[in-house]
Amino acid sequence: MKMRLLAPALLSIVPLQVTGAETSAHFPIPEALVAEHKALHVTLGRAVKEPGALGAAARGVEQVLHPHFQREEEIALPPLALLPRLARGETPPEMREVLRMTDQLEAELPKMLEEHKKVVAALSAFRREAVAAGREEYVEFADELTLHARNEEQVLYPAALLVGRFVKLQLKQ
Ligand SMILES: [Fe+2]
Ligand SMILES: [Fe+2]
């Protein structure tokens, strides 16, 4: 992910989450991840207003991406708020509440991975239009969002699921 996504100016203005998804006060989504979603959301918000085939392709991305981001901000990203404390060996009493989210994530994982395939397919169509229109910023955006999905599949979703498994182990002790 490019460093400009994490610019200090952006970090200072990001809301708790991007989509208006309902989140738990105990588990605020880590700021760096909010900033990344926000940056992607802002660029896509510009792209959907572009005229012609480029804008139409961007709207195709938005259609599959928005509900996906929303669900992610409800169940996949908040559990990551516990990571630093669990890694320090702490066992906060509210950790039990994370299981509601991690159990749901486990159940919905196949659907979320399927949605990633749809997002990546829509992005590939958008990227072709961006190349044809000579809009390098949108080509970069398509590559960044594709990488974002890979990061979630390879690191963030497994980390959130591990939080749930670890909390269950701790509660058994
Ligand atoms: Fe995401
Ligand atoms: Fe995702």
Domain ranges of the chain: 29-172
Spatial neighbors of 25 by CB under 8 A, at least 6 apart, are none
Instruction: Calculate how far, in angstroms, residue 159's C-alpha sits from the geometric centre of ligand 2.
Output: 14
- Check pLDDT > 80 for residue 78: yes
Q: Which-ligand-closest: CA of 33?
A: 1
Percent of the chain whose pLDDT exceeds 90: 84
- 116 — pLDDT class (breaks 50, 70, 90): very high
The pLDDT value recorded for residue 25 is: 82
Distance CA 126, CA 132 (A): 10
Ion ligand 1: protein residues whose beta carbon lies under 5 Å = 72
User: What's the mean pLDDT in 113-119?
Assistant: 98
Residue 15 contacts residue 33 (beta carbons within 8 Å): no
Instruction: Calculate how far, in angstroms, residue 173's C-alpha sits from the geometric centre of ligand 1.
Output: 33
Sign for the CA dihedral angle at 148, 100, 161, 159 comes to: positive
The pLDDT value recorded for residue 41 is: 96
> What is the value of pTM for the model shown?
0.86
**For 165, how many CA atoms within 13 A lie in the half-sphere containing its CB?**
7
Instruction: Calculate how far, in angstroms, residue 69's C-alpha sits from the geometric centre of ligand 1.
Output: 5
- Check pLDDT > 70 for residue 23: no
Instruction: Calculate how far, in angstroms, residue 109's C-alpha sits from the geometric centre of ligand 1.
Output: 13
- Smallest CA-to-CA distance from 109 within 144, 148, 71 is with 71
User: What's the mean pLDDT in 119-139?
Assistant: 98
- Smallest CA-to-CA distance from 125 within 63, 60, 66, 46 is with 60
Instruction: Calculate how far, in angstroms, residue 97's C-alpha sits from the geometric centre of ligand 2.
Output: 22
Q: Which-ligand-closest: CA of 19?
A: 1
Read off the tokens for 83. 């990571």
Spatial neighbors of 146 by CB under 8 A, at least 6 apart, are 120, 123
- Check pLDDT > 90 for residue 30: yes
Instruction: Calculate how far, in angstroms, residue 106's C-alpha sits from the geometric centre of ligand 2.
Output: 14
